[in-house]
Amino acid sequence: MASAAWSIEKRASFKTESPVGDDDNVPDTGCLSIIVLGASGDLAKKKTFPALFNLYRQGFLPPDEVHIFGYARTKLSDDDLRDRIRGYLSHGKDNGEELSKFLQLIKYVSGAYDAEEGFRALDKTIFEHEVSTKSTEGSARRLFYLALPPSVYPPVCKMIKLYCTNKSDLGGWTRIVVEKPFGKDLASAEQLSSQIGELFDEPQIYRIDHYLGKELVQNLLVLRFANRFFLPLWNRDNIDNVQIVFREDFGTEGRGGYFDEYGIIRDIIQNHLLQVFCLIAMEKPISIRPEHIRDEKVKVLQSVQPIKEEEVVLGQYEGYTADPTVPDNSNTPTFATVILRIHNERWEGVPFILKAGKALNSRKAEVRVQFKDVPGDIFRCQKQGRNEFVIRLQPSEAIYMKLTVKQPGLEMSTVQSELDLSYRQRYSGVTIPEAYERLILDTIRGDQQHFVRRDELKEAWEIFTPLLHRIDRGEMKTALYKPGSRGPTEADELLQRAGYVQTHGYIWIPPTL
């Protein structure tokens, strides 16, 4: 099929204003084919198909318009694929009829990732579906989700471009969703970007970072820019330090081979935590249009200073190399604390402490903004703790503010307490969507706000590549830590040196209903 001019992508994610583009002629309806490449794999069964099922159940994938196609090299029948994924969709719930109907929407095509034959067969199967839905040529929508190792992105994109691109002159489109890790360093990411960029235009490429689909990450812009409270406080005059933390209480769990090639900085910090960092640190965009938001993200990334070796702590949990897919002498960090410093008027001197680790003592992701001490404090509160604004991304989503209040009672003494917005309590009955669900819906609607733009990705790699190369060359020390611990003690020491003051004797406990 011949390709035609690409349509401008459009979607209003905030109902009061279309943040995307000016072209209102792109239809949100019509024949839609979702093609999951790498359908036999781990991500597809655990995340992609379950997200599609949830969208289907909520009516976002109408069965008269939508078909789903799995593609991979493994020889499978349609039913084999359905059987493989069934268990990941039902979660023991009694949704039998819905599930069967959804599974019937799925077809499977087997083929190589670099050969014409398979992609021609895929195109034929998709085309048959488009004909069966009486879709007008040029109006069909094709979404290719690459649940594949990045090594095969270039040949796969080439095959899609050559054999599976639909005509799009009547509002149809072809879009590509790519997963992280997008490259291993600046040079490889740029090479990959160029290879894909030669085949598809930027508005067709959706670089997924699933943290951008999390409810509380999406709330960051609203919190910062829709509340008067924070506007005057959000700067170096008031904020002492910011922590962005990811902790998992399990190890690499069967993904050791993949993980060892990448390490915790490429797996979590360079993408997930850095995206959160951008939303915390960037200036106010001129509107909520995706390009305006992404412009600001790029600017703050460009203001990050080179990382100093003395502001990095690396760790590896004991037992990591026991995984047979991990080399015995691996130096790959499973834990890292890295301090980023921003050279601009708002943030000069404020450390942004990005910390991520596997096999630690708890599972959580949060942003902790610690304020400076009260000047001329007449209550001697510094001894009790500083004001903190905490955004708990997961689990138990919450936003809370740690503050000092009078201890209730006859005495005039102070105590640490909190203003607490716990989602489960405040929004009981509301189901928070899975990140992948929301992001796939965005790709269908053409909203790139929560996806990583090419220049953003380049800046992200610019920041971390020198450090990553030093680690790869074995020039940085990796401390061993016990699984189930807080990580290397050096990380806590670095935190203290950066100015973080821990509140002793106070722990926020998520309220229960």
Ligand X SMILES: NC(=O)C1=CN([C@@H]2O[C@H](COP(=O)(O)OP(=O)(O)OC[C@H]3O[C@@H](n4cnc5c(N)ncnc54)[C@H](OP(=O)(O)O)[C@@H]3O)[C@@H](O)[C@H]2O)C=CC1
Catalytically active residues are: 272
- Restricting to residues 9-68, which ones interact with ligand X according to CB under 6 A? 38, 40-44, 46
Q: Which is nearer to ligand LXAUTJHC, 7 or 316 (CB)?
A: 316
Q: Report if residue 73 touches ligand X, rule: CB under 6 A.
A: yes
Q: Which of residues 107-166 bind ligand X (CB under 6 A)?
A: 113, 147-152
- Report which residue's Cβ sits closest to ligand LXAUTJHC: 267
Q: Give the nearer residue to ligand X in terms of CB position, either 78 or 295.
A: 78
CB of 456 to ligand LXAUTJHC, least distance (A): 17
Q: Cα(463)–Cα(354) distance, rounded to whole angstroms? A: 13
Strand ranges of the sheet holding 205-207, from the earlier edge strand across to the other edge: 106-110, 66-72, 32-37, 141-146, 173-178, 205-207
Select 244 or 365, whichever has its Cβ closest to ligand LXAUTJHC: 365
- State which of residues 123, 130, 260, 267 lies at the interface with ligand LXAUTJHC (CB under 6 A): 267
If one asks whether residue 442 binds ligand LXAUTJHC (CB under 6 A), the answer comes out as: no
Contact 208/180 with Cβ under 8 angstroms? yes
Q: Helix crossing, 454-472 with 274-281: angle to 10°?
A: 130
Cβ–Cβ under 8 Å, residues 148 and 37: yes
Angle CA(39)–CA(44)–CA(48) in degrees, nearest 5?
A: 125
240 binds ligand LXAUTJHC (CB under 6 A): no
Q: DSSP state, 342?
A: B
Partner in contact with 42, chosen from ligand X, ligand LXAUTJHC, none, beta carbon below 5 to 8 Å by kind: ligand X
- Residue 167 near residue 138 (C-beta atoms within 8 A): yes
Spatial distance between the Cα atoms of 40 and 148, rounded to a whole number of angstroms: 10
Q: Does 437 bind ligand LXAUTJHC (CB under 6 A)?
A: no
CA atoms within 13 A on the CB side of 56: 26
Give the Cα-Cα-Cα angle 364, 368, 371 (nearest 5 degrees): 165
- Rank residues 46 and 477 by Cβ distance to ligand X and give the closer one: 46
- Whether residue 344 contacts residue 463, with contact meaning beta carbons closer than 8 Å, is answered with no
Strands 141-146 and 32-37, bridge-based pairing: parallel
Residue 335 bridge partners (DSSP): 315, 357
**366 binds ligand LXAUTJHC per the rule CB under 6 A:** no
Residue 267 partner contact from ligand LXAUTJHC, ligand X, none using kind-dependent CB cut-offs of 5 to 8 Å:
ligand LXAUTJHC
For ligand X (CB under 6 A), the number of binding residues is 20
150 binds, among ligand X, ligand LXAUTJHC, none (CB under 5 to 8 A by kind): ligand X
For ligand X, give the closer residue by CB, 40 or 448: 40
> Which residues here bind ligand LXAUTJHC, judged by CB under 6 A?
210, 248, 267, 365
> Which residues here bind ligand X, judged by CB under 6 A?
38, 40-44, 46, 72-74, 113, 147-152, 179-181
